Structure 1
Amino acid sequence: MEAEEPVALQELKGRITVYTIAGCLHCLRAKARLSNLGLPFFEVNVKECPDIHQQIINLTGYFTVPQIFFNNIHVGGNNDFTNLSPDELDNLIDNVKNNPVPSDAPPIPEPETAVKKAPVEELKSKRDEYADLILEFKESGIIGNHWSCLKMHQNTFTGKKLVNWLMEVKNLENAAAIDIAKDLMVKKFLSPLTAKEFEDSDTLYRLMEHDFTASLNTGATAEYDAVSASKHSEAMRDLTLKLFSEHITPDGKFVDYKSMVNSPVFDDYCELATQLQRMDIESLMRKEKLAFFINIYNALVIHGNIKQGSPKNMWQRYKFFNSVSYVIGGEVYTLQDIENGVLRGNRKGIAQISKPFSKGDPRLKVALEDVEPLIHFALNCGVLSCPPVKTYSAKHIDKQLKLSTAAFLDGPDGCQVDVSKKECRLSQIFKWYKIDFGGTDEKLLNWVLEHLGESPKKKVLKELQAQGDIKLTYLPYDWSSNAKD
């Protein structure tokens, strides 16, 4: 099949402006349609221009992206753009063809004003003093299979053999060799099978990278110490958004996860994911935990789709969210663990008969003390009805979560109001996690009104609530994957 001829761009006196974020499917679809129409446009990434984003929110009353303008005429989002009649579209095109940019057109950034990203290399900090030692030990031939309690343990070694190797190869006294081994435990290079502290005995150990072979970030040594857990997670999320935008179909409908594995960007991402193995997360404060684990969750979903493929049915989804995992700070965290164990304060999730973390589980140390309902509008599980993907920072996490919640409720997937039927239709998210929003219809409705942005939808919903007898129902949830088959 011959490649299609590119559409010739039309000459415009005015300007079409599209406000977007990286990886947003609706944004990509709007841009694809503009390109197919031969209409050049100026794109503003609101993540890189937060001041302009706030101006657009104030101007339109909408928190969602994309927001599309033909000169100073606000079209709306991608659905609004798609639903324009032929006459309406022709009038808009005539406007930008024949009229220069008016003084009251929406703002665009001045050159060099966009927020600059730190390169991946700056996030590695310094190389750990024991990195070369671990790499050398891996080549020593000591790591192998060992029997214990009638079970074969792969990729293991005894504490005694490690100490003897340190004494022989590094010419150390026994006490000094034991001290180094203890340091390796503290720095989470080693993982004990049974003992809590290092012992110069036949007790078995593994390197952290070998301990949880099913996790997606093991198999390589975490040689570098991260500068900051929250900044590290932001960088990982930004790389996945870059992958997302580079491997999207031209119409913006599907993502080619299979081709991502061959991308240099994915190699950079995997390098950052490896460093999570030894990252200190127990000292994180609430805002840092929120930003870190939301970013890691959303990145891990994409990593899981790349390596394992997208789940196609209920059983595959259950397996996916309970098995796809990272080793973080020496502990395994599945998607289920992150959402329900950490971010929901160790509450039962959908189809779970018990809490994710049992009493005494070391991961309880990083779980939030109380559930944060706003996380439901920041987590993206990789299906069409999920909230859009974004990157969150510890400094602005509360504001960002409120904006994401308002944007989700503002869209048709989050909340719909039918005045004629006196009905408020909400996303299934509110049904599944109703306890997080108060537990009753009345409290849930009050919560929605409190978090809706100022908009016509909020005004109508308030009026219906004041009249009483409002019916609460739930919208169908689209579990379709955005993966290209």
Structure 2
Amino acid sequence: MTTRYTMRVLAFLLFVVLSRPAFSFDHEHLNFSKILAQDVSVSGAQTLVNYKNLKKNPVQLDEYLKTLSAVKKSEYDSFSSSQQLAFMINAYNAFTIKLMRDHWPVKSIKDLGGLFSSAWKKEFFSLLGQKRHLDWIEHEVIRKDFNEPRIHFAVNCASMGCPPLRQEAFRASAIDHQLEEQAKLFLNDTTKNKYENGEAKLSKIFDWYGSDFTKDGGDLINALNQWREKKFPSNAKITFLNYDWAPNSTEQ
């Protein structure tokens, strides 16, 4: 009787172990938040990355990236929409940091492309079971699958012209608040967007992706004013500022 009972217990425990997923993905992205809190510092309206320290101490970032690459397509498909969006934004930012770190020091991320392709077309990581590039994340997944223009204030291209990299990871539980905060920070940064001499001088981001903000048929000025403290006049002439491709590095 005792032997039979013991066998049943062992069989049940084995079933439980085999039924569990190989790992439970951390949707709080705690390890990435630790990296960002440690190696990203605030400088005015911008944030700067300590790529030198990240290169000296690569393990923590590499371990986090492994957890991203370990997620299978079937598992990703089971995530909620907010979990998927946070996953992809964090993946874009983390792999961009890796690209810069691995080649540091560099004068610009634009210098890291190949002979016939840009840094954003460089397949240097795996995601959802295949080799990927940064443009795949931004254009083939985020912009395609999510009707969310505020992502342009969240994905960071490792340059001074970019929106600031947060000192924490994006999380499904807080992503709407985080995106709203990013939008307000970027639109009220006068080095990126300002009203001067009758002109709304906007970041080049709105030249490249302005249509993402006007899909409902509205105009760009009204779309951006929802995040501005000092509203642009509705009749302001729109011009675009030159984009600063210098690295967002603490070593300025």
Contact 2:193 2:200 in 1 (8 A): yes
TM-score, structure 1 normalization? 0.41
Structural RMSD (CA): 3.1
1:228 and 2:25 correspond: yes
1:326 and 2:125 correspond: yes
Matches within 5 A, 1:170-185: none
Give the match for residue 472 of structure 1.
238
Provide the C-alpha distance between the structure 2 equivalents of 1:437 and 1:254, rounded to a whole number of angstroms: 27
Give the match for residue 312 of structure 1.
108
1:237 to 32, 35, 41: 32
Give the match for residue 293 of structure 1.
88
Q: Structure 2 regions of 5+ residues with no counterpart?
A: 1-16
Matches within 5 A, 1:66-215: none
Deviation at residue 448 of structure 1 after TM alignment: 0.6
Distance change (3 Å), C-alpha of 1:425 and 1:275: same
The amino acid of 1:257's aligned partner reads: Y
Distance change (3 Å), C-alpha of 1:271 and 1:442: closer
Contact 2:32 2:64 in 1 (8 A): no
**3-state SS of the aligned residue for 1:476?**
coil
Provide the C-alpha distance between the structure 1 equivalents of 2:182 and 2:201, rounded to a whole number of angstroms: 19
Give the match for residue 342 of structure 1.
141
Between the two structures, name the one with larger relative contact order (CA 8 Å, sep ≥ 6).
2
Give the match for residue 398 of structure 1.
176
**3-state SS of the aligned residue for 1:287?**
helix
Deviation at residue 271 of structure 1 after TM alignment: 2.0
Contact 2:51 2:101 in 1 (8 A): yes
1:410 and 2:176 correspond: no
Bigger drift between 302-311 and 443-452 goes to 302-311
Contact 1:382 1:481 in 2 (8 A): yes
TM-score, structure 2 normalization? 0.76
Return the index of the structure with the highest Cα Rg: 1
Provide the C-alpha distance between the structure 1 equivalents of 2:185 and 2:49, rounded to a whole number of angstroms: 23
**3-state SS of the aligned residue for 2:27?**
helix
**3-state SS of the aligned residue for 1:230?**
coil
1:378 and 2:154 correspond: yes
Over 3 Å off, 4+ runs: 252-256, 309-318, 439-442, 482-485
1:276 to 53, 61, 68: 68
Provide the C-alpha distance between the structure 1 equivalents of 2:154 and 2:91, rounded to a whole number of angstroms: 11
1:434 to 210, 216, 220: 210
Deviation at residue 292 of structure 1 after TM alignment: 1.0
Q: Structure 1 regions of 5+ residues with no counterpart?
A: 1-128, 131-223, 346-367
**3-state SS of the aligned residue for 1:238?**
helix
> Which has the larger share of helix?
2
Provide the C-alpha distance between the structure 1 equivalents of 2:103 and 2:23, rounded to a whole number of angstroms: 27
Distance change (3 Å), C-alpha of 1:417 and 1:381: same
Deviation at residue 239 of structure 1 after TM alignment: 3.5
Contact 2:150 2:179 in 1 (8 A): yes
Provide the C-alpha distance between the structure 2 equivalents of 1:272 and 1:313, rounded to a whole number of angstroms: 22
Q: How many residues align?
A: 222
Alpha-carbon displacement from aligned partner over 1:339-373 (angstroms, at most 9, x marks no partner): 1111101xxxxxxxxxxxxxxxxxxxxxx1x4321
Q: Percent identity?
A: 27
Distance change (3 Å), C-alpha of 1:311 and 1:225: farther
Alpha-carbon displacement from aligned partner over 1:240-268 (angstroms, at most 9, x marks no partner): 3145249x9xxx997552442332xx313
Give the match for residue 199 of structure 1.
none
Deviation at residue 428 of structure 1 after TM alignment: 0.5
